Chains A and B, each alone.
Chain A
């Protein structure tokens, strides 16, 4: 049978993947928009995110500050651009660390089995029981330097997901007849990783990375919002919102700018990750 309807099935798959990919494209576009603003904005309109001018406190937009001024007379535009470089950079660094560690440990655990696997799984399960924000808070209190603390704490929280995903996929793949066949045909571990494991795990890692980046940015902003994250006067998304909240009637645009930027960035990342439930 299989001979005739295959071409049909092939077409259906292609349309399905195209339909599934348009939210990802929109997501990519939103993220690119925010990144473009953060990177190119200050080049187009030069300015200092820290320079105060109390006379201009809560003033509206003007050429030098297209989004107006905050309560201390600092340019929202430049503070926002700076904030949108800071937490995504920390998030990406943490996701890269966590992704590499999780992938390496996950495949190791699945390939070695035995005590290696049991120990790593026990550790991951224990970390899973702890709220991520709590771990980040504790690490922040131990590690000197807030950015470094966020990177370390978020890496510690995020590797668990990469570990679980890559271990589960690797286990399943290694137990498949396809891998058994490749071994019988004389291929070694490097080929099995390249031909069998990575094609399965790779796309999952990208999805998890998009989710992880969103989680990390949310965590940094949430802790900023409750005053235990980045210190003043560093521009940070959550902190900007909490600072501008009391002046929302006088300067709604000032509060709205970080709110909209944060939502756009997180929505973009969520869309890029796809409609996976977890």
Chain B
């Protein structure tokens, strides 16, 4: 219960931080911002001083800071995210369109990374210092040193441009998933393979794991009945923290591959100073983290009876 309460506090704090940051961003907009926004809305021919003033009023660009901040948070508390300064569409609708594409990509990448990382990590952890363990260490260290955009670049050059196996960009077909999700998955797998490896090595050295074999269980039986379940606890917990890496990756990878998701939208919104869109997407990402981790708290509680005690 207290774990969920602290997640709630975390969610409120996230909203306050993002609200404050985007308000500051709004106030820091260059002087002609109201003109630009009005132009974006009504077209350049129809902009006049009145339209710009109306926009300035509406967004709280001028006037004293504190009342403007109050209005800003009041809107936020009513879950009124406003309309995009660029498209004029409600922010909530825009995000609704993009979230699905991002979720698909993120889930595909996560599943792929879980398919690659933990099995290798567990095998390596069963024989610490063995050939597989050392190879995996070199590989994961190397992979961790490759930023996601560079991984994307290398995969595009090699698989798409050089071998012409896959499309470098695009969205809609299954084959479009492969490059972006592989880019994300390799980075994630490098880390969760290490987590699984360390957890497995630690658990294999624990008295209960040895005792299971002294009872007469074969190595395979001990692994299946006592190893995997215990390894899954730190692994699942860590997935929650990896969510941030995943989101960062989504922001970069969507921009590189032209994937029409929320990360792509965020970069665009920042570029064109579309503050309501920035606020909306940031909130979705931040609150998504809190939500995912609350779910993980519950999952860990189910896996490990000691946590709820």
A residues adjacent to B (C-beta < 8 A) = 23, 122-123, 125-135, 137-144, 214, 218, 221-222, 225-228, 238, 241, 245, 248, 259, 262-263, 266-267, 269-271, 275, 277-278
User: Please, which residue of chain B has its CB at the minimum distance from the CB of A125?
Assistant: B10
| Inter-chain contacts of A218 with B (CB < 8 A) | 147
Asked whether, in the complex, the Cβ of B150 is within 8 Å of the Cβ of A131, the reply is no
Are A228 and B271 within 8 A (Cβ)?
yes
Tell me which of A126, A133, A228, A248 contacts B17 (CB under 8 A): A126
The interface residues of chain B, by DSSP majority, are classed as helix
CB contact under 8 A between A270 and B144, given known A130-B282, A142-B25, A226-B256: yes
Is there an interface contact between B290 and A129, defined as CB atoms closer than 8 Å?
yes
We find that the number of chain B residues with CB closer than 8 angstroms to chain A is 51
Which of the candidate stretches B98-106, B190-198, B204-212 sits at the interface with the other chain? Answer: B190-198
Q: Does B222 contact A (CB under 8 A)?
A: no
Pairs A–B under 8 Å by Cβ, sample size 30: A123-B13, A125-B13, A126-B14, A128-B241, A128-B244, A130-B14, A130-B244, A130-B285, A130-B286, A130-B289, A133-B251, A134-B251, A134-B285, A137-B267, A138-B22, A143-B28, A218-B147, A222-B148, A226-B267, A227-B271, A228-B271, A248-B157, A267-B142, A270-B141, A275-B141, A275-B194, A277-B191, A277-B195, A277-B198, A278-B241
B24 touches A142 (CB 8 A): yes
Partner of B266, one of A127, A134, A238, A245: A134
**A221 touching B147, Cβ below 8 Å:** yes
Minimum C-beta distance from A158 to chain B (A): 13
Q: Are A129 and B289 in contact (CB under 8 A)?
A: yes
When the two chains form their complex, are residues B137 and A238 in contact, meaning their CB atoms are under 8 A apart? no
Within the complex, the shortest CB–CB distance from B116 to chain A, in Å, comes to 16
B255 contacts the other chain (Cβ, under 8 Å)?
Answer: yes
A234–B37 alpha-carbon span in the complex (Å): 29
* A141 contact from B17, B18, B161, B270, Cβ within 8 A: B270
* Cβ-based interface call for B94 (8 A): no
Which of A226, A248, A270 meets B252, CB within 8 Å?
A: A226
Q: Which 4 A-B pairs have the closest CB atoms?
A: A126-B13, A267-B145, A226-B255, A266-B145
Seen from chain B, the residues whose Cβ lies within 8 Å of a Cβ on chain A are: 6, 9-10, 13-14, 16-18, 21-22, 24-25, 28, 137, 141-142, 144-150, 153-154, 157, 161, 191, 194-195, 198, 241, 244, 247-248, 251-252, 255-256, 266-267, 270-271, 273, 278, 282, 285-286, 289-290, 293
Tell me whether B195 and A134 are in contact (CB under 8 A).
Answer: no
Q: Please name all residues of chain B whose beta carbon is closer than 8 Å to the beta carbon of A140 when the two chains form the complex.
A: 270
Contact among A138, A144, A269 with B282 in the assembled complex (CB-CB below 8 Å): A138
Chain B positions within 8 Å of A132 at CB level: 244, 248
Q: Specify which of A23, A141, A267, A275 lies most central, judged by the most chain B CB atoms within 10 Å of its CB.
A: A141
